[in-house]
Amino acid sequence: MKLDLPPLLQTSVDTLIRIKAAILIASSLIMAFVFFFVVLLRYLFDADLFAYEEWILVIAFWMYFIGGAMGSYENTHIKADFLLSLFKSIRSKWLLVLFTQLLELGVSLVLTYWAWLMVADEISAYPQWQKTAALEIPFLLPRVGIFLGFCLMTFYIAMHLYSGWRQGPTEAWAAAETQ
């Protein structure tokens, strides 16, 4: 999906998408292999993979929030846009979409700020960071994934708002928005 962005910004967005896709692919493969080996070890060899839950949870947090950012970029996240069917004019639909994107941006900014507070709290607690029980993985690792995911979501919501504003209420915008 291409947004109506200036070329330099579009290049940066495309680079971010490739990085996120690589993270999502790698984390999905790691999780699938880990669960496969856990089942193999447990049921064929009566063995257990020590504390795999701790580090797989870090990967799961990163995958979940990077995936959320990907959904924000693709504009495929769950939304109740049935209100669009109540409006006939493209301009009214355009204004409604811009208003909802503005609300999304506000909520996302607040969530990003809270995620930053969570990360800042962890950083300020150094060297007495909270850690997992067995492997002592700092809680900072999954929390950075949450913060980065919210930062990217906020960025993409802002890009959709900018792109929609720039395109205006045109037939091309309406066709792209309602698919």
Instruction: Specify the pLDDT at position 84.
Output: 78
Give the bridge partners for 138, in sequence order: 131
Nearest alpha-carbon partner for 14 in 22, 2, 4, 26: 2
Instruction: Specify the pLDDT at position 1.
Output: 54
**Cβ(31)–Cβ(60) under 8 Å?**
yes
pLDDT digits (tens, 9 = 90+) for 12-53: 999 999 999 999 999 999 999 999 999 999 999 999 989 999
Burial of residue 88 (CB within 10 Å: 0-12, 13-18, 19+) is exposed
Give the Cα separation of 76 and 174 in Å (integer): 16
| Element spanning 97, H or E | helix 90-124
Give the Cα separation of 13 and 146 in Å (integer): 19
Residues of the chain with pLDDT under 70: 1-2, 80, 173-179
pTM, two decimals, is 0.90
- Per-domain residue ranges of the chain: 7-177
